[in-house]
């Protein structure tokens, strides 16, 4: 395994691999790696000739400076975990390598991300998805992956990236991977490291409320299901729902009737103290 820190070196490496006819699996991350990230890495290692994992806390996708400043980082542990997972390259760039000209001087481009980028995370984190699209497009241009792996924990992000790939004409297979959870159901997240023991103890209530709402949804309206989830979570001291939206899983737009869309997902963001946690649950799916 090698660690690459410059864009030029990465481009040269992936260029050689592509010349040799090798497939490249790519997993973009912001580090502070956990079993969720590693499940994506495992799929990439299994499904491709070589695997590249990037570890880069992307400033342009943070709309809140405190969130960026407190985002957990652990380069040493990340390197150890990725070596064990069998990846070929870790890309750990500086901000200047990703954004030539620096954050202020960089070239700007407005990505066409569709309506999926305007709701939920798009509404509550202005600029977030443009920042995600910017970093992912830059990384895709350097890595030129055959397949790129993303977690369904960030359900909306996958839809937005699919739109970006299409509007930019990038050739890559986007592979969606299931959410990894702790034994008590809490979705694994780098941000979980920021929870106090008391906060960590109540955080699984988010998942419990979502799971219990599956049964409730069978004989209640979309609105009633929404309300029961929000009321239950907000009744837990230390938890506060930012939004919970029940949406068409393809468009990410809200629905009002269960039969409005073949696939329906509920996406939630909850503040646990100052820590922002996200999760989602599938209410309806089509058998594939």
| 34 carries an active-site annotation | no
147 scored as a contact of ligand AMP (CB under 6 A): no
Q: With respect to ligand AMP, which residue has the nearer C-beta, 207 or 226? A: 207
Question: Within 10 Å of residue 155's Cβ, how many Cβ atoms?
Answer: 24
189 scored as a contact of ligand AMP (CB under 6 A): yes
R_g of the chain, CA atoms, integer Å: 19
State which residue has the least CB distance to ligand AMP: 151
125 scored as a contact of ligand AMP (CB under 6 A): no
188 scored as a contact of ligand AMP (CB under 6 A): yes
Q: Among 96-104, 108-116, 183-191, 260-268, which window interacts with ligand AMP (CB under 6 A)?
A: 183-191
C-alpha separations of 128 from 96, 138, 149, 227 in Å? 19, 16, 19, 27
138 scored as a contact of ligand AMP (CB under 6 A): no
* CA–CA gap between residue 213 and residue 130 (Å, rounded): 32
**Catalytic, out of 22, 34, 37, 128:** 37
Which two tokens mark 44? Answer: 């990439």
User: Contact 113/160 with Cβ under 8 angstroms?
Assistant: yes
Q: Among 62-70, 100-108, 180-188, 204-212, which window interacts with ligand AMP (CB under 6 A)?
A: 180-188
146 scored as a contact of ligand AMP (CB under 6 A): no
How many residues line the site for ligand AMP (CB under 6 A)? 17
Please name the residues in contact with 21: beta carbons below 8 A apart, sequence gap of 6 or more: none
Q: With respect to ligand AMP, which residue has the nearer C-beta, 144 or 153? A: 153
Residues 4-43 interacting with ligand AMP (rule: CB under 6 A): 29-30, 36-37, 39-40
Q: Which of 25, 122, 151, 266 binds ligand AMP (CB under 6 A)?
A: 151
203 scored as a contact of ligand AMP (CB under 6 A): no
In the complex, least distance from residue 28 CB atom to ligand AMP, rounded to whole angstroms: 6
Q: Which of 146, 190, 213, 269 binds ligand AMP (CB under 6 A)?
A: 190
- Burial class from Cβ neighbours inside 10 Å (0-12, 13-18, 19+) for residue 231 reads exposed
In the complex, least distance from residue 222 CB atom to ligand AMP, rounded to whole angstroms: 25
* CA–CA gap between residue 148 and residue 140 (Å, rounded): 9
Q: Which of 125, 128, 153, 207 binds ligand AMP (CB under 6 A)?
A: 153
In the complex, least distance from residue 231 CB atom to ligand AMP, rounded to whole angstroms: 26
Q: Among 68-76, 165-173, 188-196, 251-259, which window interacts with ligand AMP (CB under 6 A)?
A: 188-196
Active site residues: 37
Q: Which parts of this chain interact with ligand AMP (CB under 6 A)? A: 29-30, 36-37, 39-40, 150-151, 153-154, 177, 179-180, 187-190
């Amino acid at each position: 395994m090698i660690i690459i820190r410059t864009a030029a070196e990465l481009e040269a490496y992936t260029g050689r691999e592509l010349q040799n006819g090798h497939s490249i699996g790519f997993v973009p991350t912001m580090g502070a790696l956990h079993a969720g990230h590693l499940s994506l890495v495992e799929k990439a290692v299994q499904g491709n000739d070589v695997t590249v994992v990037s570890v880069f806390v992307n400033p342009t996708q943070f709309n809140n400076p405190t969130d960026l400043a407190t985002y957990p980082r652990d380069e040493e542990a990340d390197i150890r975990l990725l070596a064990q997972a069998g990846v070929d390259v870790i890309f750990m760039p500086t901000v200047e390598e990703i954004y030539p000209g620096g954050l202020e001087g960089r070239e700007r481009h407005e990505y066409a991300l569709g309506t999926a980028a305007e709701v939920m995370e798009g509404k509550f984190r202005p600029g977030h998805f443009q920042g995600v699209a910017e970093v992912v497009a830059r990384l895709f241009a350097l890595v030129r992956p055959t397949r790129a792996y993303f977690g369904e924990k960030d359900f909306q992000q996958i839809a937005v990236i699919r739109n970006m790939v299409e509007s930019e004409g990038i050739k890559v297979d986007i592979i969606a991977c299931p959410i990894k959870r702790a034994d008590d159901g809490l979705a694994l997240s780098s941000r979980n490291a920021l929870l106090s023991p008391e906060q960590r103890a109540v955080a699984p209530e988010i998942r419990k409320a979502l799971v219990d709402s599956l049964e409730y949804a069978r004989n209640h309206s979309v609105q009633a299901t929404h309300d029961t989830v929000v009321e239950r979570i907000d009744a837990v001291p230390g938890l506060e729902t930012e939004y919970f939206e029940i949406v068409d899983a393809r468009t990410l737009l809200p629905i009002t009737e269960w039969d409005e869309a073949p696939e329906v997902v509920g996406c939630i963001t909850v503040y646990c103290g100052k820590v922002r946690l996200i999760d989602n649950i599938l209410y309806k799916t089509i058998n594939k």
